[in-house]
Amino acid sequence: MTRMLPHPLLTLTLAILWLLLVNTVSAGHVALGLLLGWLIPFATASLWPQSVCIRNVPMLLRYLAVVMYDIVVGSFRVARLILGRPSRLRPAFIVVPLDLTSDLAISLLANTISLTPGTVSALLSEDRRSLTVHSLDTEDAAAAVAEIKHRYEAPLKAIFESC
């Protein structure tokens, strides 16, 4: 079964994303979405270094909601900062020590940080124990690190680690 459907959750996610992109739920688009959702993971299965193991699906759904909320709120916050007084911005590079060990979880953390307006993942240390993040406006670096660890890293650790 896993040879024919290597990543079932990814297949479903890609099919749903296809339907969202075309903004239509017709039989043809559902079939095409499922075909693409199956074909892409099937064609790239040999490129995946490890199988994806999700330990906590409710936590994953909560994490996705938090990320979406942070993207929307961050967009308005960045717009206000830029349109307000750009001279008052306090950009900073922040080093976030990592508790994550899974390549997938670290990658998702870095991507989540980059997706959230106002922050960008800049550098993963060679030993994979810290991530350097650039923040557009930082009043307290320690508070920013604590927020990243609490909002993003802790849920990712509960979702993907120790499988």
Residue 28's domain comprises: 8-47
Q: How far apart are CA 61 and CA 73, in angstroms?
A: 18
Asked if 33 and 73 sit in the same domain, the reply is no
Asked if 42 and 97 sit in the same domain, the reply is no
Question: Do the domain assignments include residue 3?
Answer: no
* Residues 26 and 34: beta-carbon distance below 8 Å: no
Residue 65 exposed, middle or buried by CB count within 10 Å (0-12, 13-18, 19+): exposed
Segment 122-151 shows an average pLDDT of 94
Question: Do the domain assignments include residue 112?
Answer: yes
Question: Do the domain assignments include residue 89?
Answer: yes
Asked if 103 and 149 sit in the same domain, the reply is yes
Question: Do the domain assignments include residue 52?
Answer: no
Helix axes of 27-44 and 8-22: crossing angle, nearest 10 degrees: 140
Asked if 42 and 61 sit in the same domain, the reply is no
Question: Do the domain assignments include residue 102?
Answer: yes
Asked if 27 and 93 sit in the same domain, the reply is no
Asked if 86 and 115 sit in the same domain, the reply is yes
- Whether 150 shows a pLDDT value over 70: the answer reads yes
- Whether 9 shows a pLDDT value over 70: the answer reads yes
Asked if 34 and 65 sit in the same domain, the reply is no
Asked if 76 and 154 sit in the same domain, the reply is yes
Q: Which residues contact 97 (CB under 8 A, 6 or more apart)?
A: 129, 130, 145
Binning pLDDT at 50, 70 and 90, where does residue 50 land? low
Asked if 43 and 92 sit in the same domain, the reply is no
CA angle 69, 70, 76 (to 5 degrees): 100
* Residues 99 and 158: beta-carbon distance below 8 Å: no
Binning pLDDT at 50, 70 and 90, where does residue 111 land? very high
Split into its structural domains, the chain has a count of: 2
